[in-house]
Chain A
Amino acid sequence: MQKFSTVTGIAVPLRRSNVDTDQIIPAVFLKRVTKTGFEDALFHAWRQDPEFILNRPEYQGARILIAGPDFGTGSSREHAVWALRDYGFDVVISSRFGDIFRGNSGKQGLLAAQVAYEDVERLWEVVEADPGIPVTVDLVERTVSAGALTVPFDIDDYTRWRLLEGLDDIGLTLRDEESIAEFETRRESWRPKTLPIREPAESGSL
């Protein structure tokens, strides 16, 4: 994962709440077996409308999405993060995120910056008044700045550290391999195992 510190770019004001993962990327696009190439799938249904904010010329090349509350609710599909990232977004700003979406973002270098709702409103107003105005998101300082406005954002310390350092979670966990192996020696023997396969008492056929 690349190190993340500061992003400056065009920000898109998406004035919608409860943007669920089915809107971010519909299920029909989840059939691919790769991690890239999802840019066309992003907000697929909404982008059919030429007036949809992402289709407007002034917001082309945007890197920051400013959305209403409860962004990324719904399914666990990490494809939602891949689609945002493939489209070119580095940051999503909202006053509240779906838990799984937030976790997925942190693992894929997409910054989910939680901003108080009043501040989201103020950011929307600044960006709508001057579309294309450069917006800067500073992960070190935990701030979002647009013109004369600077507002703070929340992110948990651990995710921030991993993003700043560009660290891979699995590598970090495997440093504790000994603790995992030790834990496994203490697990009760009756805990469920999928192998070897045990047949049910009565079987049938289709």
Chain B
Amino acid sequence: MNAVPTPETRPRTLAEKVWDAHLVKKGDAGTPDLIYIDLHLVHEVTSPQAFDGLRMAGRPVRRPDLTIATEDHNTPTLAIDRPIADPTSRTQIETLRRNAAEFGIRLHSLGDVEQGIVHVVGPQLGLTQPGITVVCGDSHTSTHGAFGAMAFGIGTSEVEHVLATQTLPLKPFKTMAINVEGKLRPGVTAKDIILAVIAKIGTGGGQGYVLEYRGSAIRSLSMDGRMTICNMSIEAGARAGMVAPDETTFAYLEGRAHAPQGADWDAAVEYWKTLPTDDGAEFDAEVFIDADALEPFVTWGTNPGQGVSLSDAVPDPAAIDDQHERAAAERALEYMALEPGTPLKEIKVDAVFMGSCTNSRIEDLRAFASIIKGKKKADGVRVMVVPGSARVRLEAEAEGLDKVIEEFGAEWRFAGCSMCLGMNPDQLAPGERCASTSNRNFEGRQGKGGRTHLVSPLVAAATAIRGTLSSPWDLQTEGEGR
């Protein structure tokens, strides 16, 4: 007779393994588990009230050595050596600096070589590692799941909680496998995969789940591509998305400043290799995506699930069965000033934004530059390129990408969140339409009255050349391609 599997020998998913390894205290029917947090990323927007709370209660930060802060949301991307013009932005940055000094937290300020978007900085320093738990007061913390970490966004009360206790009380998540099998065609990228996933399961489809992205198309992606996918898990409603660590992960990490070294490296890799989901482990839900069939993708509406292939037309709300989705589509088309049936490729843009924690890493910039090299941007289109971190900016400049970008007629900026959410001066004007490599096409997200179409770096580049939503495929048919 076969023995009943014990909890330790039962096949487990990647997410379950990471969860189990961080159990400080198991909850019971009524109470959540207490989970240890390995890495806490902090930025200026969601932390001031948390530090205030600590101060009022007389509590220290439990583990400054597991905490790191950067300035990113409010920071200007021009003239960074001058004082920040907006007094409220300046106050928020100065508050972070004061709090970091008072509580002994490592901070990379504007002008520092390690400054940048918090989700670009963590991986770049080698702090984001397989099998760890990562939190940040920012929903795009899911980015770090690309390394096989359990990473999710938290609110300010939870930021205070982690600062004080290095733990969080949490109910276990359900697990969902997103199987992406096949080979992407040239011109189709990680961004198109995740936009297609969100369009398929909807903005609420992942609620309560950790998504694990699996399959041959995911395995063949670089770390930068995997980060793009995990980044937008939250747009599918999931707090976290993960990819099992493999040789690609280890190669990315080896030699980075905070990656394990020497014997520690060997011990770590040995452990990391035990993390992938066991054969026979069960997911609570599964989704299948055919990578071979994917095309460059674009959103037409005001939530990230409202997307279609770029070769399609703006959908007709009347053809949508679900009454909420129909109402949402009608409202979205009104806001976006679009008519049903319009081919997406005929939609003219006023601006192109290349940046954000979704697509501002070196490979994203290389992909963008490969399309625009030697060309001029379309007349009347404003093109802004914002690297994810100061170090990415340096790396791009060492490769000459800044020259390619400037000769194209685009603006080459300093690092930060920038026009993804327009907390700094980088905003759309009312009514302006933008092809954006960022993650949210919500009403007013990039500036009050601004209209956002979410796209990949390749589509952003082709759109900047033609002035209408376009993919590299359109350039090739015109004989303008690479």
Task: Judge whether A75 is part of the interface by a CB distance below 8 angstroms.
Answer: yes
Contact call A104/B267, Cβ cutoff below 8 A: no
Contact call B257/A73, Cβ cutoff below 8 A: no
Contact call B444/A26, Cβ cutoff below 8 A: yes
Select from chain B the residue with minimum beta-carbon distance to A161: B30
CA distance A161 to B138 in the complex (A): 27
Nearest Cβ on chain A to B2's Cβ, whole angstroms: 32
Q: Which of chain A's residues have a CB closer than 8 A to the CB of B167?
A: 173, 176, 180
Nearest Cβ on chain B to A204's Cβ, whole angstroms: 5
Nearest Cβ on chain B to A24's Cβ, whole angstroms: 10
CA distance A205 to B132 in the complex (A): 31
Nearest Cβ on chain B to A163's Cβ, whole angstroms: 13
Q: Which of chain A's residues have a CB closer than 8 A to the CB of B25?
A: 176, 179
Please tell me which stretch of A84-92, A147-155, A187-195 contacts chain B, meaning at least 4 of its Cβ atoms lie within 8 angstroms of it: A187-195
Task: Judge whether A140 is part of the interface by a CB distance below 8 angstroms.
Answer: no
Q: Which of chain B's residues have a CB closer than 8 A to the CB of A174?
A: 164-165
Nearest Cβ on chain A to B63's Cβ, whole angstroms: 8
A-contacting residues, B81-106, CB 8 Å? 86, 88-89, 91-92, 95, 106
Most buried by B among A31, A32, A34, A191: A31
Contact call A31/B155, Cβ cutoff below 8 A: no
Contact call A200/B442, Cβ cutoff below 8 A: no
Task: Judge whether B249 is part of the interface by a CB distance below 8 angstroms.
Answer: no
Contact call A78/B155, Cβ cutoff below 8 A: yes
Contact call B444/A195, Cβ cutoff below 8 A: no
Nearest Cβ on chain A to B450's Cβ, whole angstroms: 11
Nearest Cβ on chain A to B275's Cβ, whole angstroms: 13
Contact call B204/A69, Cβ cutoff below 8 A: yes
Task: Judge whether A129 is part of the interface by a CB distance below 8 angstroms.
Answer: no
With contacts A26-B444, A100-B153 taken as known, whether A70 is within 8 angstroms of B106 at the C-beta atoms is no
Contact call A76/B160, Cβ cutoff below 8 A: no
Task: Judge whether A13 is part of the interface by a CB distance below 8 angstroms.
Answer: no
B-contacting residues, A180-206, CB 8 Å? 180, 183-184, 187-195, 197-201, 203-206
**How many A-B contacts at CB < 8 Å in the complex?**
228
Task: Judge whether A81 is part of the interface by a CB distance below 8 angstroms.
Answer: yes
CA distance A194 to B442 in the complex (A): 34
Contact call A31/B92, Cβ cutoff below 8 A: yes
With contacts A31-B423, A169-B157, A173-B169 taken as known, whether A74 is within 8 angstroms of B258 at the C-beta atoms is no
**Could you say which interface size class chain A belongs to?**
35 or more
Please tell me which stretch of B45-53, B288-296, B369-377, B472-480 contacts chain A, meaning at least 4 of its Cβ atoms lie within 8 angstroms of it: B45-53
Closest 7 CB pairs of A and B: A104-B155, A190-B264, A33-B48, A107-B157, A78-B155, A76-B153, A31-B88
Please tell me which stretch of A3-11, A14-22, A51-59 contacts chain B, meaning at least 4 of its Cβ atoms lie within 8 angstroms of it: A14-22
Task: Judge whether A156 is part of the interface by a CB distance below 8 angstroms.
Answer: yes
Most buried by A among B24, B30, B154: B24
Please tell me which stretch of B32-40, B188-196, B403-411, B454-462 contacts chain A, meaning at least 4 of its Cβ atoms lie within 8 angstroms of it: B32-40
Contact call B255/A201, Cβ cutoff below 8 A: yes
With contacts A100-B153, A170-B164 taken as known, whether A73 is within 8 angstroms of B423 at the C-beta atoms is no
Task: Judge whether B9 is part of the interface by a CB distance below 8 angstroms.
Answer: no
With contacts A31-B92, A107-B155 taken as known, whether A194 is within 8 angstroms of B24 at the C-beta atoms is no
With contacts A107-B158, A195-B106 taken as known, whether A190 is within 8 angstroms of B328 at the C-beta atoms is no
Q: Which of chain B's residues have a CB closer than 8 A to the CB of A158?
A: 30-32, 169, 171
Name the contact of B444 in the complex, choosing from A22, A73, A79, A187 (C-beta under 8 A). A22
CA distance A64 to B164 in the complex (A): 33
Name the contact of B139 in the complex, choosing from A16, A100, A161, A179 (C-beta under 8 A). A100
Task: Judge whether B440 is part of the interface by a CB distance below 8 angstroms.
Answer: yes
Q: Which of chain B's residues have a CB closer than 8 A to the CB of A34?
A: 48-49
Select from chain A the residue with minimum beta-carbon distance to B111: A206
Task: Judge whether B463 is part of the interface by a CB distance below 8 angstroms.
Answer: no
Q: Which of chain A's residues have a CB closer than 8 A to the CB of B64?
A: 194-195
Task: Judge whether B180 is part of the interface by a CB distance below 8 angstroms.
Answer: no
With contacts A33-B95, A192-B129 taken as known, whether A28 is within 8 angstroms of B24 at the C-beta atoms is no
Please tell me which stretch of B65-73, B214-222, B312-320 contacts chain A, meaning at least 4 of its Cβ atoms lie within 8 angstroms of it: B65-73
CA distance A20 to B235 in the complex (A): 11
Contact call B158/A179, Cβ cutoff below 8 A: no
Name the contact of B165 in the complex, choosing from A30, A97, A180, A194 (C-beta under 8 A). A180
CA distance A183 to B26 in the complex (A): 12
With contacts A33-B49, A75-B139, A161-B30 taken as known, whether A100 is within 8 angstroms of B154 at the C-beta atoms is yes
Contact call B207/A96, Cβ cutoff below 8 A: yes
Task: Judge whether B127 is part of the interface by a CB distance below 8 angstroms.
Answer: yes
> Can you list 6 pairs linking A and B with CB atoms under 8 Å apart?
A76-B139, A99-B208, A169-B161, A184-B166, A194-B65, A200-B256
Q: Which of chain A's residues have a CB closer than 8 A to the CB of B88?
A: 31-32
Task: Judge whether A98 is part of the interface by a CB distance below 8 angstroms.
Answer: yes
Nearest Cβ on chain B to A36's Cβ, whole angstroms: 10
Nearest Cβ on chain A to B46's Cβ, whole angstroms: 7
Select from chain B the residue with minimum beta-carbon distance to A171: B57
